[in-house]
Amino acid sequence: MKSLVIVESPTKTKTIKKYLPDGYVVDSSMGHIRDLPSSAKEIPAKYKKESWSNLGINVDDRFDPLYVVPSSKKKVVTKLKKLLKDADELILATDEDREGEAISWHLMEVLKPKIPVKRMAFREITKEAVLNALENTRDIDMNLVHAQETRRILDRLAGYTVSPLLWKKISPGLSAGRVQSVAVEFLVERERERMKFKSATYYDLKAQLHKEAETDQFEADLTHLNEKRLASGKDFDENTGKLKKPDSVVLLDEDKASALVDDLKSASWSVINVDVKTQKRNPAPPFITSTLQQEANRKFGFSARDTMSVAQKLYEKGFITYMRTDSTRLSGQAIGAARDAVTEEYGEDYLFERVRNYNKKGKSAQEAHEAIRPSGSRFVKPDKAGLRDREFKLYDLIWKRTIATQMAEAELEFTNVTIRATNNGTDADFRAGGKKILFPGYFRAYVEGSDDPEAALENQEKFLPAMTEGDATALDDLNFVSHETKPPARFTEATLVKELEKRGVGRPSTYASIISTIQNRGYAKSEGKTLIPTFTAFAVSTLLEKHFPDLVDSDFTSELEDKLDAVAEGNQDPVKYLEDYYKGDNGLKAKVDTQEDKIDPQEAKLLDLPLEGLEGIKVAVGRFGPYARMEKNGEEVTTSLPNDMDPSDISSDKLEELIKISEEQDKPIGEDPESGEPVFLLSGRYGPYVQRGEVTEENKKPKRVSLLKGMEPKDVDLDLALQLLELPRPLGKHPEDDKVVKAGVGRYGPFVVHDGKFKSIPKSDSVLDIELDRAVELLNQKSKSRRGSNEIKDLGKHPETDKQVRVMTGRYGPYIKHGKKNISLPKGETPEDFTMDKAVELIKEKG
């Protein structure tokens, strides 16, 4: 008998083939083979005249979706139909979640098999799991299919109904989404809080002390003055910058802090209290989708999408269980494997006395019912898995977190010592804190936020000398320290995922696509790890808040998710649900119809920014980006805002300066003595720039150069403008080949260039002043490769293979390069001290 097994990805095809007996043909659908039409050209001719055809959903007949096979999938369908002709049975082995179930159903609908069909599902791709699934096939779960289909229809209705309104009222190309808009709202709300924030300054004292007759120093911070608590950041109102309860705390300014330092230098210091507590800590639960995304972002800087992409590969290669899950449960097999790994790696002392399990299950019914963990009944050690780079890092993280769940508690000892300094009737209480790890327990394997548990253990401990009440201490140094209260932190991908999960917005499988979407659509930009909302995000969120508050209400969106879960469980009629959402008296269509005429496009484009001093200046978004406008002498003056300006960067001074440039852009700042052409200081979407000559029919693109980073328009005079317009400027001929070396500014900043070779100019040099000798020196420096690798030392040629061996450093740490093969250096090895003998041994070990 010949069986055709269809999975959704080519990688999964390769892995599953290894475990199936002869007679099984495995192929891939490459994801979904059909979907709602993505454009008008995909709509079949017979439906084009239907009023609902642009939606791809028949809203007049039970919300019947119009599914089409896109041109990119027609070859896949043809291939699968051909394979089906030679098969005696069809086995659908797509992922066991809503998307996977829907892919299987679509395959049934398109292929129309006339042979027996089985649904085969597994959460890990191991021989045991695959063969077990083959013995325990089932039918397609139509409740899961309906839940996926309902979500897809719901998102299409929200996007295709509200987005055209945004095009009309704000700008073409904008989009709204059922979950996307809530995520953007979170970013905008946080940015508003930051913009309203008023900082405050406060002071405290830091003492360096030692116990009398001992030499070891320790540090203590002032906490109370005459038994009244010293003010700290939490005591200030974020909107006013003033103390919330001024009578309950002591606020030190610089003068008071300085005077107190002078007074206490001659004080007597002694211990008045010692408090020692022990505390046991339990390991975190094993990973679910959201916590994996958060931790990978914190530790490695991976985006949510990157994390899911790498996890998908690990799953398909058979290294981990299914990566879309909100369950922290571990199977008996996993617990046994984890406990075996603990014993082998760390010994019996580190094994928790009993089985530790986590049975938290999130709201979603769509996901797998086990946590993300290494697959199989015996976990492959990370250094034996043959993985590299990001795959190794993520697998290592999952392995460590999983085995930590079965490890002993960490036992910590915390010591708080209060030391009083007394002088001239002033009692100042200082607190010193100590931390000791009595038993590391699971810390040996896993510390949240740290790549290296051993190093983290050392960094966690803070030792104090043994002290008892009444012990005298001596002052070594005393200084005052200023602090400034900080606004609420912007969201990172990790904290945004955490917020979405906490509020019940979206589900594990959607977080990565949500965050990618809001960046791709221009609602947020990433700076370092933080997500910064754009001017467009402010405009869209403000419009939705005023006219469609449900679309940005996390509670409303969370309730919709609950109903989708009820559909998956068979407890909610999907058609009734869609009727209420879209066509009810208070449904989306009715809201759009009634609100559209109430929205004034000019008002919708204006941004309501919570900033002071902007009276008379309006900030808006338009077809070509954000701009500012104000009325002067009865005329409206406008200026584009630079692309690199964020809403929180706006101030009245900056806007007035840009408007002044815009007003005076017809007036040149001088004349180029060589060409006789006027020189202008202008402002555009890419910020302020200088221009030589006017735009005419004959001279459509006059020479323009942006101001360098750090330059202010007010500092630009004719001499500086002419220096900028000289760029790229020739520095002279290179001593080796007489070819000209130039200095200029490009997309990635200032550079020098020679014969097509570019080298960035560091911040310590100026592109306007750099000379030939320095440029040649920079050009001779070894460049980092495109992968960010750098050579540390050349060990020479391998004694057996005659291939060059080099010690390198790259994005993921030091490694040796042997020909085309890269091998990571063992943990603890110093790259600079690595020898050829060690390299030969390592190359031999790695085969």
First to last CA, the chain: 41
Q: What is the CA radius of gyration of the chain?
A: 33
Both tokens assigned to 258: 């300085």
Taking each helix axis from N to C end, the angle separating 180-196 and 493-503, rounded to the nearest 10 degrees, works out to 110
User: CA 723 to CA 719: how far, in whole Å?
Assistant: 6
Cis before 728 (ω within 30): yes
Where helices occur in 388-466 by DSSP H, the ranges are 389-404, 453-460
Say how far apart CA 776 and CA 736 lie, in whole Å.
Answer: 10
**CA angle, 420 then 425 then 428, to 5°:** 25
Distance CA 644, CA 685 (A): 9
H/E stretch holding 751: strand 749-754
Run of H or E residues at 291: helix 289-300
3-state secondary structure 682-744: EEECCEEEEEECCCCCCCCCCEEEECCCCCCHHHCCHHHHHHHHCCCEEEEECCCCCCEEEEE
Q: Which residues pair with 617 in a beta bridge?
A: 630
| Alpha-carbon span 99 to 105, nearest angstrom | 10
3-state secondary structure of 204: strand
Q: How far apart are CA 130 and CA 123, in angstroms?
A: 9
DSSP string, 772-802: HHHHHHHHHSPPPPTTS-EEEEEEEE-TTT-
Contact of 604 with 170, CB cutoff 8 Å:
yes
Instruction: Tell me which residue has tokens 């960094």.
Output: 459
Reading the block at residue 286, the tokens are 């094993």
**What does the alpha-carbon distance between residue 391 and residue 387 come to, in Å, rounded to a whole number?**
6
Residue 322 annotated in active site: yes
CA distance 580 to 591: 12
Residue 204: Cβ within 10 Å count: 20
Neighbour-count burial of 606, counting CB atoms closer than 10 A to its CB (0-12 exposed, 13-18 middle, 19+ buried): middle
> Rounded to the nearest 10 degrees, what angle do helices 180-196 and 511-520 cross at?
70
Which tokens is 309 given?
């992409």
Beta bridge partners of 351: 407
Both tokens of 805, joined, read 């061996």
- The Cα-based distances of 102 to 34, 144, 575, 638 in angstroms read 10, 7, 17, 52
- Cα distance between residue 55 and residue 50, in whole Å: 10
* Structural contact between residues 705 and 690, judged by C-beta atoms closer than 8 angstroms: yes
The total number of residues written for the chain in this structure: 847
Picking from 271, 204, 194, 293, the residue whose alpha carbon sits closest to that of residue 238 is: 194
Amino acid at 469: E
Give the phi and the psi of residue 789 in degrees, each rounded to 5: -90, 155
Q: CA torsion sign, 166 to 172 to 178 to 179? A: negative
Distances (CA, A) of 690 to 646, 729, 795: 22, 16, 51
Answer for the pair 77, 113: CB distance below 8 angstroms, yes or no.
no
* Cα 826 to Cα 814: distance, rounded to the nearest angstrom: 9
Helix (H) or strand (E) holding 412: strand 410-423
Among the options 24, 322, 511, 627, which is catalytic? 322
Active site residues: 322
